[in-house]
Amino acid sequence: TQEYGVVSAEFESENPTVIESGTSQELEYVVPNAGLVPVYAYVTPASPGVDVDPERLSVASRGEASTTVTLSAPDETGYYRLFVVEHRYLAVLPPGIVDELYGVHPWAPLVAINGLLGGGIVSIGLLLLRGEPARIRSRGSRERPPLYKRLLREFYR
């Protein structure tokens, strides 16, 4: 969540968060991605008086993307807190599917992506182990003591 402290004033200012009453100010909102996997970012208004265009961004690996946030100052002068919310998802599903899931709930794409990645890891594990429990040694090897114990017994006889 990004907070903008906006002052609704009766005068114009060079400060982007001091806005003349009843007018709007546009700010650039940058979404960086330092990771190796591309992401989809959804930047949405979280309070009245905020507009974001575009709301969905695709951010490349080790890249950045930007969107425009428009802050509107109320008619009454004073200090106002305006909010923008950002959600990010790994780009492992097609953007249309992520859009549909995001429309249901912001956590729905997260559940689907984690299920896909977790299910893939479990499937690979089952393929490698062939569904059998992993054993490092056989049951028969328990009958003989380890080599170091046998050598110590021989040495101290």
Over residues 32-43, the pLDDT tens digits come to: 999 999 999 999
DSSP secondary structure of 26-58: EEEEEEEE-SSS-EEEEEEE-STTEEEESSEEE
Q: Which domain does 14 fall in, by range?
A: 1-91
Distance CA 36, CA 118 (A): 19
The domain boundary, picked from 39, 66, 91, lies at 91
Residue 94: predicted pLDDT: 95
- pLDDT interval class at 143 (50, 70, 90): confident
* Strand 2-9 relative to strand 18-20, pairing: parallel
**Percent of the chain clearing pLDDT 90 (strictly above):** 67
Q: Are residues 101 and 152 in the same domain?
A: yes
Residue 152: predicted pLDDT: 87
Q: How many domains does the chain have?
A: 2
